[in-house]
Amino acid sequence: MGEPRAVILRIVKRNAVSPSGRDGGRGGAKGGAVSLDPRLREPQALAALRTAFRRDGAIAISGALTAASLRALHAATSRGFTRTFVPDRYSYGAMPLHADMGGIVSFVESITGSSSKMSGLGAIPAGSVARFGHGDYTLLHDNLPVAPAHRIVAFVVIDDWDASSGGDIVWTRDGETLLRLSIMKNILYVIREEKGSRAFVKYVNHRAGRTSFRLILLS
């Protein structure tokens, strides 16, 4: 079957979408829906995102959420995590996702053309919040399901992060790396997993200190 196709990320910076957009400061995780930067819904931006996703199978949208929504998600996920730990499989903090992400989900569906329920990220279930700090990871193992064709994974990163601390998200198949994602604040990743691939989060090393990052997985 030859070498697996390399998946290339296309990053659409919010300032490049439309100079006329404004962050109205509304929308949040409590008392309202989480809101996207409105410029991303403009026809030209949507067309560019759909084209990039069809071509590459993976897109990264920086500055995806409004400032108000990002602040609200920070507040709503600042506490309440439960340690999820199975030796040699995974270790991270987990909590249910209570925020109204319906608008973000419909936006992702408009890009991918799929209304199927979104999938989790390796060992992390869809519709949840995962927090990774020093010593956390997820690993590939025999019980981790492989991706069928056309499975969609989408998640938002809401924290700043030093790449030297680890925590990259990696997809592999048959021992080869297909895709590696870096952790960056306020970025929406939309991934069409390649058939037979599996994903994991690399070990977060001592350089993280007391810092951590959170992933908001859509469902």
Predicted pLDDT of residue 132? 98
Predicted pLDDT of residue 169? 96
Exposure string for 75-104, b = 16+ CB within 10 A, e = fewer: ebbeeebeebeeeebbbbbbbebebbbeeb
Spans of the chain, pLDDT less than 50: 1-8, 13-28, 30-31
Predicted pLDDT of residue 144? 65
Predicted pLDDT of residue 115? 84
Angle subtended by helix axes 102-112 and 43-56, to nearest 10: 60
Predicted pLDDT of residue 150? 75
Predicted pLDDT of residue 106? 96
Place of tokens 């709503």: 76
Predicted pLDDT of residue 155? 97
Report the sign of the C-alpha dihedral through residues 16, 18, 19, 22, in that order: negative
Map out the domains of the chain as residue ranges: 10-217
Which positions ≥6 away from 114 have C-beta within 8 Å?
150, 152
Residue 70, burial from CB neighbour count under 10 angstroms (0-12, 13-18, 19+): buried
Predicted pLDDT of residue 116? 82
Q: How far apart are the C-alpha atoms of 6 and 1, rounded to whole Å?
A: 14
Considering the segment(s) 10-217 as one domain, its CATH architecture is: Sandwich (2.60)
Give the number of C-alpha atoms closer than 13 A to the C-alpha of residue 45, restricted to the C-beta side. 23
Predicted pLDDT of residue 142? 60
Predicted pLDDT of residue 143? 64
Predicted pLDDT of residue 17? 39
Task: Answer yes or no: pTM beyond 0.85.
Answer: yes
Predicted pLDDT of residue 117? 84
Q: Which amino acid is at 9?
A: L
Predicted pLDDT of residue 15? 37
